[in-house]
A and B are shown apart, each in its own frame.
Chain A
Amino acid sequence: QVTLRESGPALVKPTQTLTLTCTFSGFSLSTSGMCVSWIRQPPGKALEWLALIDWDDDKYYSTSLKTRLTISKDTSKNQVVLTMTNMDPVDTATYYCARIPASGGSCYGSWFDPWGQGTLVTVSS
């Protein structure tokens, strides 16, 4: 059974750096074609894709947020970490991590399944 769980602070202050950890089980991120991604959802708003890391340690970021994001993995711990710098109240959201299974040998173009339960991060002074 594949599961993912997000962890991190519930509250951060403006200008601080957010660090979130996704701990997963049931698959290995060293398996060819496998990827893990981060997605966020402000309260009452739509989903927004943030970043992805693949089995080969390639990383891709949202065009609009790439200057603020860093994604990394620790394969031995089955963890993926996302950092977001210079947090602002508009970054208040539920942050999800999700696996992207390989389709046709690659996760690129594939879908998010499953998702973690999400963690709500509030940015406020």
Chain B
Amino acid sequence: NFMLTQPHSVSESPGKTVTISCTRSSGSIASNYVQWYQQRPGSAPTTVIYEDNQRPSGVPDRFSGSIDSSSNSASLTISGLKTEDEADYYCQSYDSSNRNWVFGGGTKLTVL
């Protein structure tokens, strides 16, 4: 079993770039794909990145994902920040050993 750890909150100004990290506690981050979900207040989550770095249709290319084996972490980068990007962001991966899906604790992004 592993955990995914995210910073509790990040903030940045409109037009800037922000990166949210997601660190896997054990096992390789590259073992299973990482997904990222955006959740605005009062709404269900929606996918912004799947399979480490793929964007669903309709998600702007300001959103990008990557993994770094040296830090055993995944990252979500949002460039050209807009006020509408203000939301909670969750990373998610899969534990093959017990067929459980694992979520990070979520990061609150404030754009101010």
Which residues of chain B in 88-112 are interfacial with respect to chain A, using CB atoms and an 8 Å cutoff?
Answer: 90, 92, 94, 96, 98-106
How would residues 25 to 40 of chain A score, 1 for a CB under 8 Å from any chain B CB and 0 otherwise?
0000000000001010
Interface size class of B (residues with CB under 8 A): 20 to 34
Chain A residues near B92 (CB-CB < 8 A): 47, 111-112
Instruction: Give Cα A117–Cα B44 distance, bound, in whole angstroms.
Output: 6
Query: Does A48 sit within 8 A of B, measured CB to CB?
Result: yes
In the complex, chain B residues whose CB is within 8 Å of the CB of A118: 44
* A residues less than 8 Å from B96 (CB atoms): 108-109
Cross-chain contact A109 with B33 (CB below 8 angstroms): yes
A113 x B47 contact (CB < 8 A): yes
Q: Are A46 and B46 in contact (CB under 8 A)?
A: no
The answer, yes or no, to whether B68 is at the interface (CB within 8 Å) is no
Interface string of B40-63 (1 = CB under 8 A from A): 000011110011000010000000
Within 72-107 of A, Cβ neighbours of B (below 8 Å) are at: 96, 103
- With A48-B103, A60-B99 as contacts: A96 and B33 at CB distance below 8 Å: no
Is the CB–CB distance between B100 and A62 below 8 Å?
yes
Q: Which residues of B contact A (CB under 8 A)?
A: 1, 32-33, 35, 37, 44-47, 50-51, 56, 90, 92, 94, 96, 98-106
A residues in contact (CB < 8 Å) with B: 37, 39, 46-49, 52, 60, 62-63, 96, 103, 108-118
